[in-house]
Structure 1
């Protein structure tokens, strides 16, 4: 019997975590046993882990990565706290020196590098170890397995990292799974020497589950709103471009388009800054931050237009989910956008800017026939892709 380990951070609400739930629910290996190691047993999706997988006990040292440095100090994990603090300082220096727009990736990478010597290894030996979320240092360095697999969920051509250190880490893996062909190509522009290791395995989608969940709630606030309703489901972060969404709405309001409202489902570190930005533009009535929702599908269902204003994506889980619900979708022209939406057929791609987002919204708002055509194309498409798992089974 094959012994398989899958590692990830936690089960907080997010696209990666949602894709992991779909993967685990469809995972069926008759001659194997799957164990899941989460660095922290937390998140609204934790109770959605299927019964046929074993959740391993939490290890105190690994829980520190999702806690503040102050909390880690209070828990007397001094070496890990110092590693975190050192990573924060070094990342800020590197970010300023190289003019990085988001030094958070460097900080996370350095955090793991500095902390490795203070983290326990897994005693058990596995046939296969899977690391589902970057950075993959835990499986690379602390797990013994005959075969190791890592996942790519983002566009690495847009992410600033220490490439030499990262490539050393990637080389500890036998296979690297990219969630789209464009995601794979973007990764290889940065790490061409890893080409033989990389293959595409798309995020699993369950149309039946998504459509059922969309009927579970009735978002009265939205249903009773007579305005043209935009919906975005995303982490409140630089990568997801919610700040550009606020700027786009400000432009629309300035031009007199007051019959548009934007509902945003999600949470994240940029929430305070976004609320300030919304206040500065006096958009409290035009942009509604709904916060964390474990079931975002009723809100998608109630939308007139689903918008993904991201700066970069591997393959946005939420865009595919909106298409499953037959929603017209507008996405920005991030580098991998064409791998997700066929412009003018099953979605609309706009310029990656606040101006482009505003223009795309107005184009689709003004043309109901176009919106209906995009919706019809989505409803006629088969988005079920459980067959993707066959690629993983072959690798296993």
Structure 2
């Protein structure tokens, strides 16, 4: 039997939501039916160790250490430096820098610069030899630009894991990459709507493919040794994610300050690393919250922390579809989340959690409600535990690109 070849291209393999979703998709592809390949533009990250054995990694070298560590940042810097001398990528980047629109908003302008640097990475990467039956860009940005311009394939697909409008992507930056894609898969309806604001002409080929979550695997890993080492016996709050502006950890700290002033007793634990760490440490210190909010860093197995938590909190400014919310739900945890992209597709507010406003006061209100009502926490947690996964239609649509169904 002829096995169809599928190439997945990723930006990095760090411990983050899209990378975890990719691992689960790789795990359900039958190696007797498909020859599966993986190429990573910056071949570093903890999740290389979880790639199934039957997946052939096309990078000559990989590194399973964190992308976010000092060594990881140096690694990324070296890759960018190498990219500047290839294929005229530096010249293209300078043209884009001159042509970018200054908005007067420092955050948005920095976002544009960062996207141009990412574009340079894709422009300066060497093309892969050979031709594949299906090439899949599993993340927006460099992976998508690379698949569009540097990979030969019978068919091509791209995945969208974030709100591309809020993330700062544009037609100018994308350079027609989605025109060559046979299918574009969005992980939530909100992500699809955001994309179609920029590309309304691709309505017909933009489909939904909800993230694949292996609930049983998560529950098994939650039983492994680990978790909190303190002896605290009060309410524990947990938030997990990279310490980036989009994740709203500064909003979480402000909400914690409000809760303390209201007399609530709790500890809020944050798992993750990232560029906002020093700012958050300063914010926590200046608010006098050192005995309340704890930055624990990234964990190889975060699930024991989930299982020992009373309430999971998401304070994001924008998302695509939060993997960590679904992980918390798999472990029966009630979730309080800000009303950003994709959230209302994950939480039925008032049934298995609460969706609140993005202001610190609104977030604090939702958390306080659950802190003070154990029965409501248990009710929401049970409903979260019983939620059903809904990725099958997306998987069928994906495999239809190869003339097959799941």
User: What TM-score, normalized to structure 2?
Assistant: 0.87
Q: Deviations over 1:42-69 (max 9, x none)?
A: 2221111101111112489xxx9x7559
Q: Provide the residue aligned with 1:273 in structure 2.
A: 279
2:115 corresponds to 1:109: yes
1:181 maps to which of 183, 189, 210: 189
Q: Is the 8 A contact 1:41 1:58 kept in 2?
A: no
Question: Secondary structure of 1:221's match?
Answer: coil
2:302 corresponds to 1:300: no
Q: Deviations over 1:305-335 (max 9, x none)?
A: 0001111111100101111100011110113
How far 1:119 sits from its partner (Å)? Answer: 3.0
Q: Distance in 1 between matches of 2:82 and 2:92?
A: 17
Q: Provide the residue aligned with 1:168 in structure 2.
A: 176
1:39 maps to which of 41, 60, 63: 41
Q: Deviations over 1:331-375 (max 9, x none)?
A: 101133211111101111111111111111111111222111111
Q: Deviations over 1:10-64 (max 9, x none)?
A: 221111111111111111264421110112332221111101111112489xxx9
2:223 corresponds to 1:215: yes
Q: Provide the residue aligned with 1:309 in structure 2.
A: 315
How far 1:181 sits from its partner (Å)? Answer: 2.0
Q: Is the 8 A contact 1:95 1:102 kept in 2?
A: no
Q: Provide the residue aligned with 1:323 in structure 2.
A: 329
Q: Provide the residue aligned with 1:289 in structure 2.
A: 295
2:31 corresponds to 1:23: no
Alignment of 1:135-174 (within 5 A): 135=141, 136-166=144-174, 168-174=176-182
Judge which range, 119-128 or 132-141, deviates more: 119-128
2:229 corresponds to 1:243: no
Question: Secondary structure of 1:36's match?
Answer: strand
Q: Distance in 2 between matches of 1:72 and 1:272?
A: 24
How far 1:89 sits from its partner (Å)? Answer: 11
2:371 corresponds to 1:365: yes
Q: Is the 8 A contact 1:105 1:161 kept in 2?
A: no
Q: Is the 8 A contact 2:272 2:298 kept in 1?
A: yes
Q: Is the 8 A contact 2:83 2:125 kept in 1?
A: no
2:54 corresponds to 1:52: yes
Q: Distance in 2 between matches of 1:204 and 1:194?
A: 24
Q: Deviations over 1:134-179 (max 9, x none)?
A: 2111111111111111000011232223334426122121111111
Judge which range, 119-128 or 160-169, deviates more: 160-169
Q: Distance in 2 between matches of 1:185 and 1:202?
A: 15
Q: Is the 8 A contact 2:83 2:120 kept in 1?
A: no
User: What TM-score, normalized to structure 1?
Assistant: 0.89
Q: Distance in 1 between matches of 2:281 and 2:93?
A: 28
In structure 1, list runs of 5 or more residues that go unmatched.
none
Q: Is the 8 A contact 1:207 1:384 kept in 2?
A: no
Q: Provide the residue aligned with 1:337 in structure 2.
A: 343
2:263 maps to which of 252, 256, 261: 256
How far 1:106 sits from its partner (Å)? Answer: 2.4
Q: Distance in 2 between matches of 1:276 and 1:3?
A: 50
Question: Secondary structure of 1:7's match?
Answer: strand
2:235 corresponds to 1:233: no
Q: Distance in 2 between matches of 1:70 and 1:267?
A: 16
Quote the RMSD (CA, aligned, Å): 3.0
In structure 2, list runs of 5 or more residues that go unmatched.
none
Q: Distance in 2 between matches of 1:19 and 1:70?
A: 22
